[in-house]
Each structure stands twice: as structure tokens, then as C-alpha cells.
Amino acid sequence: MSSHREAPEISKDPVADSSDLYAFVSPDRPDTVTIIANYVPLQGPDGGPNFYEFGEDVLYEIHIDNTGNAQPDISYQFRLQSDLTNPDTFLYNTGPIQSLTDKTWNRRQVYSLTRVEHASKRVAVLGKKLPCPPCNIGPLSTPNYSALAGAAVSNLAGGISVFAGQRADGFYVDLWAIFDLGVLRPFQADHATFGLANTGLAKMATGINATEGVNVHTLALQMPITQLTRDGASPTDTTSPSSVVGVWTTASRQKAKVLNSNPAKNVETGPYVQISRLGNPLVNELLVPLSKKDHWNGQPPAHDKQFAGGVSNPELAQLLPVLYPGVFPNLAACNAASPNRAELLAILLTGIPSGVVPGFQNFTTHTQSDMLRLNMAIVPATKPSNLGLVGGDPAGFPNGRRIFDDVATIELRAVAGATLPLVDPSYKADAAAGAITPGLTSGATDLTAMGTESYLSSFPYLGEPYSGFVAAA
Amino acid sequence: MAPLSRRLFLIRSSMAAAAAGVAASVPGVVGTLGTTAADAPAADEAVTGADSETAELSEPLVAHIKDLSTGEISLFNGTREVVTHDPQLANQLFRAAR
């Protein structure tokens, strides 16, 4: 998936497992940027009585590089606290939860938001005791969920809006198929099937969204663009380096933990150690070998040169011609020539410099570093393409990432060679490279991929979480 | 990051035994550490003298002996990690834990 359960160790620590990161100029407030970091992936909505929540022993951070050196210039820190209203009941709620202060809501979380400016070491607590909404349980427990979630959007000084709580997972991907040895249902009849007969793959099919019906826990921030730029200005020049920021999220735990039979007496101490990281979607998931994925999670972006080999010569690119014989002949020839895929290195690790795509750049640094790079001078599209830049829409991925961007298709096509001619005009991409898709949208203008129809048109943009009651019905 | 002296660590460790039940939870270790404290280098005396009357353990302190031969010990307190090298102390803690 984008980064759901992408590494062996972090997959066992879901509250610290970042699953998706989005950064885009807010379409309804284009003087602001929205950044969304999702954690606690693949939540079954009916997972009670202990419904999902953030880790109160986890430090969640969203980092901004606005000087192009792959180092954090600004960090936003979220620290959660869990409170129990009634210690004598096993129930999450003892009646309908009508408001965020309702005493029938037994297990709740609040959080603080802190902004750190690293150069000046200025630390500002932007909000304390900010409320999270409850999980969406059902028509009796959370009868007006929209109102509850809306009340959990906190508007802070300086024009900042923040939300922390459950949302529907907006990412879409056909997990059922792709991890069954690379099946893409729209192309499955061309799969080699390892010589197996009667696999049921003889006919092409449409994709199935594996994240339909599951929830995540979202940390969402919307702030004026002027609070993110290095000079405090609102960028208008798309060619200027100062218009571009790099964004990534991390989760950290304290280094030492001593367990007690009474968990309230557990001891956690020492400096925070980063255990989860996410910039561009699917980088750790697809381009880093299993043995290094958790190491990748613990590294800062500035150290990503050590992983560049998996980007410049991706294992998946080597596999595609093998899994789909005869479909990717030009990619196979490229693979045989010890490729150094400069276009993938640019898209994922440095940003795309000026001159590669006419009128576009999101280059930050020659320091190879996985960050979501957003050129904030590019205004939101009036007719967006879910294929982003490769669909002719520079306001979308890999210029940041919007919630509806079909990043699985975009990255599959890029790995398959569709973007290689950008840096090697002599290379002719295979026809399949421009058509390959998991098959979860009806086309590039489809912004309501299967199972994600509940996207919102305003902050926090991700849809209302699936109700456990409805999901079970 | 201010260094944590060996003497101060010993004092705080024994406090941790009572306050948090962490670093010195092995039976008898407090006494052992107390003996050790009396043998602390003179360089630590000023620190000890100043802190023994006033030091309070407001947060847990955890020690991780990484290497007995070099005496490398990581001390975790608050959001700090202090690494000290003291083979004698490391061995005393090791014996106390057996």
C-alpha cells in the first residue's frame, strides 16, 4: 500500500505506522496549504469495544524543509493524551455521544500542537487540550457524526486549522491482486502465472479497492502559505526555489521502556527515536528491500542516498517484463542495460528541475531525500486529473499529493518507463507503460475512486469514517 | 547536554528504586550502590556534595549497560540519553543483577 504495514517491525506497531501523507494548496482556500498525515491503518470500523485511537506514547511530527537542504526547518508536533471518564464500565460510551463534552463518552483523547522552528529554536505551543472526535460507531452511539467531527476541527491563532481523529482511508489500491505476485486485474490475462493452470486469471477484470470500508487516524493541518515559506512571503513564481517545500512525517517513541504488570506504571524515558517515516507514497513500500525497510523508517531524508539504488534500478521494473512476457519489451531492454533511472530519482528523491517538464519544477536539492515536494506557487486545478503531472495537471502528484491522486497508477506507469523519455528522448516507452493501472478509476477525471466517494470539499477533506454499524450491515 | 556524573547517577539510581522501581530493582543493589558511592572519584565529590542534600528524582532513570568491558552505560532520563564509560560501575551493576 502507500505505506500501510510497509515494514516488518512497524507493521506490529500500528499506532506509530504512517500510512499516507498528503500536501496540497487548499482548493477552497488557495492562500493556505493543507498537510494530512494518516496513522493507524486498516481499521475495521466495528473494532470495539476498544475503538481505535492514537498512541499517547508516540510523538507524531510533520516536518517542512523550506531551504532545500533536506533538513527540517519547521516541525509540527502532535502529542496525545487519553482520558477515561468512567473507570467502572467496559464500554467506550454509555449512551449516545451528542457532543465532544458528553459524559456518556468514556474513552477520549485530547492533544497538543507545537510548532518548532529549528534555526531559531523557537518553540510555540499552538494549542493544548484540543479535542479528538470519537470513532464512528453507529446510529445509537454517534447519531450525528458529522457534527461531532466538525466540532473537532480547531481553529487556532494565525489562521491555522487542525484536526486529529478518525477518517475514512482515502487511499485506493487493489491489494488483493497486486501482492498476489503482481497481478493487475485489467491485465491479468497477460500474466505469466508461473505456469500455473486454472488460476481464474484468464479474463481481464476491473480492480477492487482494498481500502474501501476501512478507516485511519488523521493528523490534518491547514495553515497560511506564508507560514511555510523561508521568507514569509506568498510565492507566485513557479520557477523560484523558494516556492517549493519538502514535507515528510515521522513517528517516534522514547528509547527506553520498562513494562509493569500495571500499565499505568510503565516507564518510558530517554530521547525520542524515529520508528516511522513517510514522504512520497510507496517509496519504502516498493523500492526498499525487506531487510532495510525498518532501517529506512529510522533514517532522516537527508540520508536517503543509501537507498537510491532501489529507485534508480527498481526491482519492480525488473519484474514487470517477467510477469507480463512480451508486454514490456522496451523496458526489458532498458533493464538489461544496467539502468540508472534518472527520471525516478528526480521524481522521488530530488524533485524535478526546471527544463524537464515545460513550465514545471519542484526541485529542492541535489541531496537525495524522500520528501513530498510541493511547489506552492502552482494554483489548484479547476479541472484536476487524478494522474497529476503525468495527466497534464501540475497541481497534483508528484507536485505534493492530493487525496484523490491515483498514486498507484502514476508510480506504476513511471516504474514501467512511461516517464523515462523525459530524461532520455531516445527511449520509446512501451504502450502498456502508459496504460497500466490497478483499474480503480473510470479515467483520469474520476476523482471519486471506488470506496472513496466521501471525500470532502473542505478541511479536513478526507471523508467521514465508516461506521462500524453500517459496515457490518 | 550536561554530563551526568557517576556519583549523581548512583544517588539517582537508588532513588529510582523507590520512586520508579526501575534501575535498582534488584534486591540488595541499593546497598551495593551505596558502598560504591563511597568509593567515587574525588572529582565527583563536589557534585555529590551539592546534590546529595537536594537531588530529587522527578522522572524515572533507566540504565542500560551496553558493554561490560568498556563500561559503556547509557542513562535515560526525561528526554535525555547520557553515555558514560565506567567499567567498575558497570561490573558492580552486573553483579548486583545476578
Tell me the pLDDT tens digit for each residue of A178-204: 889 999 998 899 999 999 999 999 898
> Tell me, what's the pLDDT at B53?
54
| Whether A269 contacts chain B with CB within 8 A | yes
Q: Do B62 and A260 touch (CB under 8 A)?
A: no
- One-letter amino acid at A346 equals A
> Tell me, what's the pLDDT at B27?
35
How distant is the Cα of A470 from the closest Cα of chain B, in angstroms? 43
> Tell me, what's the pLDDT at A275?
97
| Alpha-carbon span A322 to A193, nearest angstrom | 10
Q: Which residues of A touch B76 (CB under 8 A)?
A: 254-256, 269-271
Q: Helices A329-336 and A315-323 sit at what angle, rounded to 10 degrees? A: 140
In this prediction, residues A358-385 reach a mean pLDDT of 96
Mutate to test the interface with B, among A269, A272, A273, A274 (most CBs of B within 10 A): A269
Mutate to test the interface with B, among A123, A267, A273 (most CBs of B within 10 A): A267
**Site of grid cell 445509537:** A140
The three three-digit cell numbers of residue B69, written as one number = 568491558
Q: Which among A269, A271, A272 is the nearest to B60, CB-wise? A: A269
Task: Give strand pairing partners of A244.
Answer: A375
pLDDT grade for A156, boundaries at 50, 70 and 90: very high
pLDDT grade for A175, boundaries at 50, 70 and 90: confident
Percent of chain B at pLDDT > 70 equals 45
Question: Three-state secondary structure along A152-169?
Answer: CCEEECCCEEEEEEEEEC
pLDDT grade for A1, boundaries at 50, 70 and 90: low
**Site of grid cell 475514512:** A168
> Tell me, what's the pLDDT at A439?
86
Percent of chain B at pLDDT > 90 equals 40
CA atoms A265, A269, A273, A274: torsion sign: positive
User: How does pLDDT run across A429-467, given as a tens digit for each residue?
Assistant: 999 999 988 888 889 999 887 666 689 999 999 999 999
pLDDT grade for B48, boundaries at 50, 70 and 90: very low
pLDDT grade for A472, boundaries at 50, 70 and 90: low
Q: Which residues of B touch A269 (CB under 8 A)?
A: 59-62, 76-79
| Whether A271 contacts chain B with CB within 8 A | yes
> Tell me, what's the pLDDT at B58?
86
Task: Give strand pairing partners of A374.
Answer: A245
Mutate to test the interface with A, among B25, B76, B82 (most CBs of A within 10 A): B76
Q: Which residues of A touch B78 (CB under 8 A)?
A: 269-270
pLDDT grade for A3, boundaries at 50, 70 and 90: confident
Question: Three-state secondary structure along chain A?
Answer: CCCCCCCCCHHHCHHHCEEEEEEEECCCCCCEEEEEEEEEEEECCCCCCCCCCCCCCCEEEEEEECCCCCCCCEEEEEEEEEEECCCCCCCCECCCCCCCCCCCECEEEEEEEEEEECCCCEEEEEEEEEECCCCCCCCCCCCCHHHHHHHCCEEECCCEEEEEEEEECCCCCCHHHHCCCCCCHHHHHHCCHHHCCCCCCCCCCCCCCCCCCCEEEEEEEEEEHHHCCCCCCCCCCCCCHHHEEEEEEEEEEEEEEECCCCHHHCEEEEEEEEEEEECCCCHHHHHCCHHHHHHHHCCCHHHHHHHHHHHHCCHHHHHHHHHCCCCCHHHHHHHHCCCCCHHHHHHHHHCCCCCCECCECCCCCCCCCCCEEEECCCCCCCCCCCCHHHHCCCCCCCCCECCCCCHHHHHHHHHCCCCHHHCCCCCCCCHHHHCCCCCCCCCCCCCCCCCCCCCCCCCCCCCCCCCHHHHHC
pLDDT grade for B55, boundaries at 50, 70 and 90: confident
Cis peptide before A398 (omega within 30 of 0): yes
> Tell me, what's the pLDDT at A450?
67
Least confident of A175-179, A224-228, A289-293, A389-393: A175-179
How distant is the Cα of A272 from the closest Cα of chain B, in angstroms? 7
> Tell me, what's the pLDDT at A451?
60
| Cβ neighbours for A82, distance < 8 A, ≥ 6 positions apart | A53, A56, A107, A108, A109
Q: Which residues of B touch A265 (CB under 8 A)?
A: 21
Least confident of A288-297, A446-455, B31-40: B31-40
Please report the number of interchain residue pairs, chain A to chain B, with beta-carbon separation below 8 angstroms: 37
> Tell me, what's the pLDDT at A452?
63
In this prediction, residues A361-367 reach a mean pLDDT of 93
In this prediction, residues A213-226 reach a mean pLDDT of 97
Mutate to test the interface with A, among B26, B57, B62, B77 (most CBs of A within 10 A): B62
Q: Is the pLDDT reported for residue B4 higher than 60?
A: no
Q: Give me chain B's average pLDDT, please.
A: 65
How distant is the Cα of A117 from the closest Cα of chain B, in angstroms? 19
Q: Which among A256, A260, A265 is the nearest to B76, CB-wise? A: A256
Q: Do B77 and A270 touch (CB under 8 A)?
A: yes
- With a CB-CB cutoff of 8 Å, which residues 234-263 of chain A face chain B? 254-256, 258, 260
CA A384-A348-A243 angle, 5° bins: 65
Q: Give me chain A's average pLDDT, please.
A: 94
- One-letter amino acid at A335 equals N
Q: Which among A260, A265, A269 is the nearest to B76, CB-wise? A: A269
> Tell me, what's the pLDDT at A206?
87
Cis peptide before A301 (omega within 30 of 0): no
Q: Which residues of A touch B81 (CB under 8 A)?
A: 255, 270-271
Least confident of A77-81, A82-86, A285-289, B2-6: B2-6
H helices, E strands: number in chain B: 4, 3
Kindly give the pairing relationship between strand A107-117 and strand A74-84.
antiparallel
Q: Which of the pair, A101 or A439, is modelled with greater confidence?
A: A101
pLDDT grade for A471, boundaries at 50, 70 and 90: low
Report the predicted TM-score, pTM, of the whole model to 2 decimal places.
Answer: 0.90
| ipTM for the assembly | 0.84
Q: Do B76 and A258 touch (CB under 8 A)?
A: no
